[in-house]
Amino acid sequence: MTEGLRKGLASYGDAGFSLFLRKAFIKAMGYSDDALDRPIVGITNTYSDYNPCHGNVPDIIAAAKRGVMLSGAMPFAFPTISIHESFSHPTSMYLRNLMAMDTEEMIRAQPMDAIIVIGGCDKTLPAQIMAAVSADLPTVVIPVGPMVVGHHKGEVLGACTDCRRLWAKYRAGEIDDNEIEAVNGRLAPSVGTCMVMGTASTMACVSEALGLSLPMSATIPAPHAERFRLAEASGRVAARMAKAKGPKPSEFLTEASFRNAQVVLQAIGGSTNGLIHLTAIANRTSHKIDLEAFDKLGREVPVLVDLKPSGEHYMEHFHHAGGVPKLMAQLGDLLDLDARTIEGRTLREVVAAAEEVPGQDAIRDKQHPIKPEGSMAVLHGNLAPRGAVIKHAAASPKLLQHTGRAVVFESVEDMTLRIDDPELDVNADDVLVLRNAGPKGAPGMPEAGYLPIPKKLGRAGVKDMVRISDARMSGTAFGTIVLHITPEAAVGGPLALVKNGDRIRLDVERRRIELLVDEAELNQRQTALKPATTPEWAQRGYARLFNETILQADEGCDFDFMRANGKG
């Protein structure tokens, strides 16, 4: 079997010449023949001046390289696309699949026997894991780690739950211009990913639960020395995998691994985005995420991690309490502890080594959960024939059963223009409806599902309302918010049929979301819908590919031809 530098030669019709040429060029960097004869560990470099979450990537790469070389292999770092949430127009989700394709193809194109992917900001780990399982090369995932917490007026602050909370206070006139400026400088006090249980933290925990990262990888704060020791250890593991040619993701990711990831997703109070990403990852393997089964797990698995936005603490507290290994120890038989990790160990061994931290209160036991049920529920009904999701752990309990009058916004732009209009006919019991914000409609399914409370209601003290959409929501947000309504309005889903004043019933206990309009009327409205045409933004390039092949939320929003079996 070819390995190291001999893998995947450029095609000149003469393999000997291809290798001769490759070595001639790479020697320009000063490598010796001994170095070039070693197994190779590729390392993705997602450092970017546009991505502050990845600010420690150069140091992680240096540490990982050290680990690789100490174990007798040769590291090669290479750049890929990097995506930061607040620097991605129109939305980071629009670019996730591009990053997954870029990463997969660069793994395939360049010679390497194992790969270390380093990511963290929301879409990056999903994209990298999607790429790695598709390329099916021995893979180690190193998350960049969470930021440390910020402080303001004696209060602990976390991006971005407190970004939203304090912005809402500012909108409601409770804090002034000077204070919101001061807060702006304190919400992100270090490099690293958002330090609440947002999508970045969620996917890092999911990666650990899948066995793709070393224990504690998800939680060590980004600036801590421990993170760089973990990167060195990850480098050693990758070198071992490069020499052993395994295990590949296809060799240790089983049905049980994906079930474990869903259990952890529920127990951490994870981001709703995590469900979309995990679905996309599974679809690139021979496994599937079944929404009904996920919902059923939600009824059995309690939320045990006390982190914002569902609870009180932040990622560094989760870490100091024992991290994901301790959480998995508390979950015990809710997990399949025989599932394996990249090190060849079982989760049972990982759990056995979990740290016991006296007096910690960030990771509860099953007898004292934060919430007796998991964080997310899957809803169905005539508004969401293929499902919708609510993070009920971060919702207002009194709104989980609610019927109200629809106030409809046609698009994100429409919502932005009208939500604060003093003339808007809206009251606290209404249901705010946003449509055309799904995978195709927006495009890229922006995190617009957290519709702001209309200013006039915010000023009157309204903190939460039922909000429904085909959009996504940041995992850091709080509220009674129904997301991912599928099919989306832009492809003719029933959300497109809602009119102002219709009544909508949400019943989370029964897992229902319904438009209380009779069927004959709905059929009439459906017939009157204009057929979808190719939008202006989707005439060429990546936009066209996106528009023509993007799947709905229940299928992970991957491109249809990127699934394990292609277009099928």
Left if phi > 0, otherwise alpha if psi is -120 to 50, otherwise beta: which for 131?
Answer: alpha
CA distance 223 to 190: 7
Tokens 């005439």 sit on residue: 539
Q: Which of residues 441-460 bind ligand FES (CB under 6 A)?
A: none
Distance of closest approach, residue 193 Cβ to ligand FES, in angstroms: 4
* Contact (Cβ atoms closer than 8 angstroms) between residue 129 and residue 281: yes
Closer to ligand FES by CB, 200 or 307: give it.
Answer: 200
Euclidean distance between the first and final Cα of the chain, in Å?
A: 31
* Contact (Cβ atoms closer than 8 angstroms) between residue 400 and residue 506: yes
Distance of closest approach, residue 143 Cβ to ligand FES, in angstroms: 10
Name, in order, each residue with C-beta under 8 angstroms of 251's C-beta and a sequence gap of 6 or more. none
Q: Amino acid letter at 101?
A: M
Contacts with ligand FES: how many residues (CB under 6 A)?
9
Token pair listed for 424 = 């808007």
Give the 3-state secondary structure of residue 116.
Answer: strand
Closer to ligand FES by CB, 53 or 305: give it.
Answer: 53
Closer to ligand FES by CB, 53 or 496: give it.
Answer: 53
Distance of closest approach, residue 475 Cβ to ligand FES, in angstroms: 9
Interface stretch with ligand FES, choices 11-19, 162-170, 177-185, 194-202 (CB under 6 A): 194-202
Closer to ligand FES by CB, 200 or 557: give it.
Answer: 200
Distance of closest approach, residue 418 Cβ to ligand FES, in angstroms: 28
Distance of closest approach, residue 271 Cβ to ligand FES, in angstroms: 10
Does 194 participate in binding ligand FES (rule CB under 6 A)?
A: yes
* Interface with ligand FES (CB under 6 A), residue from 198, 246, 438, 556: 198
Helix spans in 11-155 (H):
15-26, 33-36, 57-70, 92-109, 124-135
Q: Mark residues 37-66: x for contact with ligand FES by CB under 6 A, - for none.
A: ----------------x-------------
Closer to ligand FES by CB, 194 or 278: give it.
Answer: 194
* Interface with ligand FES (CB under 6 A), residue from 39, 46, 85, 106: 85
CA distance 191 to 193: 7
From 282, 216, 285, select the one nearest 248 (Cα to Cα). 285
Q: Mark residues 122-161: x for contact with ligand FES by CB under 6 A, - for none.
A: x---------------------------------------
* Contact (Cβ atoms closer than 8 angstroms) between residue 300 and residue 408: no
482 bridge partner residues: 390, 468
* DSSP H or E segment with residue 91: none
Closer to ligand FES by CB, 122 or 558: give it.
Answer: 122
Distance of closest approach, residue 381 Cβ to ligand FES, in angstroms: 32
Q: Mark residues 174-193: x for contact with ligand FES by CB under 6 A, - for none.
A: -------------------x
Distance of closest approach, residue 58 Cβ to ligand FES, in angstroms: 17
* Contact (Cβ atoms closer than 8 angstroms) between residue 337 and residue 398: no
* Interface with ligand FES (CB under 6 A), residue from 121, 130, 214, 412: 121
* Contact (Cβ atoms closer than 8 angstroms) between residue 130 and residue 83: no
**39 upstream amide cis, omega within 30 of 0:** no
Closer to ligand FES by CB, 160 or 432: give it.
Answer: 160
Under the rule (CB under 6 A), what is the footprint of ligand FES?
53, 84-85, 121-122, 193-194, 198, 200
